[in-house]
Every structure is written in structure tokens, then in C-alpha cells.
Amino acid sequence: MAEAAFAQRRVVVTGAARGLGQALAICLADLGADLVLCARSAEGLERSRTVIRDRTGKTSETHLLDLSDPTAIEAACRAVLEQDDSVDVLVNNAAFWLPGTVAVASTEDIVQTVASTVTGTILMTKGLLPGLRRSDAADVVNVVSLAGLPGAYRGEASAAFHAAKHGQSGFGEVLRRELKAEGIRVLAIYPPDFDDVSPLDPAWKETPSRPAGATMTNREVVECLLFALARPRVCSVSALVLENG
């Protein structure tokens, strides 16, 4: 079912140069999706594109993108739609991680945290909305965090990061209502801290054997997302809240 759900679907992933974004992009490509990779790192983008090409024979589209820069977002969205005017899935994965307290954080880092996480998600979605509306089965995925839930507290994350994730979550909730009548699904996933494992690493296949109480890896996050996206259109998964067992 998963292969049929993603074959030849055009998927835009931000933060695709490393970590969860790269892992998700690789797995989607393995299932037949056509990837559009966006990230700030040219080296990381090329690495992701090379891995996908070596595994699938497909050449992914790539765009250098700083989500804290509205002009760059507008240019990237325009380039994505000039290449192909339809987008099937947008994964807003990228965010700026800011640990520590507000008292010691620089003004620049606070602004970038909010801009890349909240404003970046909003503008990326707005910029690609015309393409999503041309799809016959569009999805928007916002990778939030447990830090974006009411009453949740992620110990090392700054108050600015928590605020940014709450903003991203609130945007998705209202967007879901705005787009429901058009058949565009909006999904938010709230993962906890997790270990970063690449699909290229043998440890990726060992993940299910981890004992209860261990920290999950990004494989669990990827599998939950793929499950939700592969549901028939009659079923819309609005939120996935993940916790370490």
C-alpha cells in the first residue's frame, strides 16, 4: 500500500540535508516519490541527492533555502512551481534549535528561531499553496515537537524555541480548518527527543529490537509519518503525538 501511496508523488521536504529530513526524504524516494529537497547546506543537499540517486536512480530537485529569509522563501517557492506547477506533499521539517535560557540567548538567535520555525513554515506553505491546490491528493505536514504542546516542557529547549513550536502548532490547527473543504489534509507530528539514525546505517534495521524505556530513533518518526500519509483520503490524521516508552 505504501508504495502505491507515494509512487510519482512530488514531495517537498525542508531541512532535507541531514537528520530526520534526510531520513524521511530517502525513505520516500525508496517508495517511488519524486523529491524536492530544501536546506541551508549545499553540501548536505548534494549528499542527500547523491544517496537518493544511488538508491533509486532518480535525480532529486534541490534548492538552497534559509527559512529565516522571506525573500529566499519566495524565490524558492517560485522555482519549485516553475519546475512543476503541482506539489503533492509539503513537509515543513526545518527549524532552528535554540537551547538555554532567554537571558543568555542572543537577539539574533531568538529572531532566527521564531522566523525559521513559525514565519518560515507559514510562508513556505503560502508560497506552495497554488501547487498543492493543483494536486488531486495534497498533504501538508508540520514537524512540530512535544515542546509545541500545552503544558509540555522540553528541558534543554529555550523559551523562544517553545514559543516558536507553539506558533507552528497553532498555524497548522487553523490551516487544517481553512483547507479541509478543498480536500487538502494538514498533519502535525509532535516527536520527543530521539536518536538520529540514518537509513544508510545498519542500526536503522535494528531499531525495533530496542527495549521499552529506550529513546526512539527517527525511524519511528518516519514510519509514523508514512503511515499517516498513506491513509485513504477518507481518513485524515490531524495529529501524531509520540512519546518515548
Sign of CA dihedral 68, 71, 77, 83: negative
* pLDDT at res. 3: 65
Q: Considering the entire predicted model, what is its pTM?
A: 0.94
Three state DSSP letters for 193-225: CCECCCCCCCHHHHHHHCCCCCCCEHHHHHHHH
Give dist(CA 157, CA 154) in Å, integer.
6
Kindly tell me the number of DSSP H helices and DSSP E strands found in the chain: 9, 7
- Domain borders along the chain are 2-241
pLDDT in tens, the chain (245 residues): 466 789 999 999 999 999 999 999 999 999 999 999 999 999 999 999 999 999 999 999 999 999 999 999 999 999 999 999 999 999 999 988 888 888 999 999 999 999 999 999 999 999 999 999 999 999 999 999 999 998 877 778 899 899 999 999 999 999 999 999 999 999 999 999 998 999 998 888 875 667 777 889 999 999 999 999 999 999 999 999 999 98
* pLDDT at res. 156: 85
**What contacts 24+ positions apart, CB below 8 Å, involve 204-213?**
212/245, 213/244, 213/245
Give dist(CA 235, CA 5) in Å, integer.
13
Closest CA to 125 of 96, 90, 82: 90
Give dist(CA 243, CA 245) in Å, integer.
6
* pLDDT at res. 15: 96
Q: Are 98 and 110 in contact (CB under 8 A)?
A: yes
Asked if CATH classification 3.40.50.720 holds for the domain at 2-241, the reply, yes or no, is yes
Give dist(CA 198, CA 204) in Å, integer.
6
What is the phi-psi region of residue 57: left when phi exceeds 0, alpha when psi lies from -120 to 50, beta otherwise?
Answer: left
C-alpha cell at 96: 532552528
